[in-house]
Structure 1
């Protein structure tokens, strides 16, 4: 089984989600089929696009949720339906042992995702992290673990 994790930006500008999704499905195509397994924290943006692309390629995914209150505190109103749908579609869901969402919980969930995968896809514009646990921090942690990292930032992609 091929186990691929994902990290990436949450706030994508108009039109960027479509570009990222197309690139993800292209990159996942060589792994397509029931042996493809994704690991995601299901954040809005890159993580959810990845989960959908894994499904489109015939694979499955598991979710690592940062905290017990993540849905209530961190999922925005406009994204609740998509989050709930993707959470239900996960083969397994695990919660990090944090009662409250926050930077420490987000970083811990990302590190747990890295522990479970054998390769990382990073939906990343290449800029440094603005806060603890942002995409650049996760990419750096993957490199420290000697995990292969594929950076995906399609031409024309922008952050909000």
Structure 2
């Protein structure tokens, strides 16, 4: 059996094939850079944020638009993902787009236990949410918790950083 390479015609309603959501210091220089290069070589147009787009107030309008304009979102859950309110806002928007526009959402569990994310427990997710509870509104924290639980319950991939 042979496989033929097909020329893809991009769907004009999508600006990006893939949106990558990740906590920069945990994965940017290793896993994400390799994943991005592999996608690029395969002809897949991926959006990877630039730290310049980030603001302390939360997710920018530009980032929100990039999520909405992506066919697929890959959420790379790592040890410090939940420490970032920015990342929590991203995953909340991604889950919303999965429900409202049918965007595919693929979780990647990078050196973390999916159950810790689903339940916001453990040394990373549990402690991070204790801090968020003290600094953020209950409504916002509940939205983050719901988004994490929903995303972590989706079929995904478990990866250990030792191979990267």
Tell me the TM-score normalized by structure 1.
0.45
The structure whose RCO (Cα within 8 Å, separation 6+) is larger is 1
Query: Which structure: greater helix fraction?
Result: 2
Tell me the TM-score normalized by structure 2.
0.44
Select the structure of larger CA radius of gyration. Answer: 2
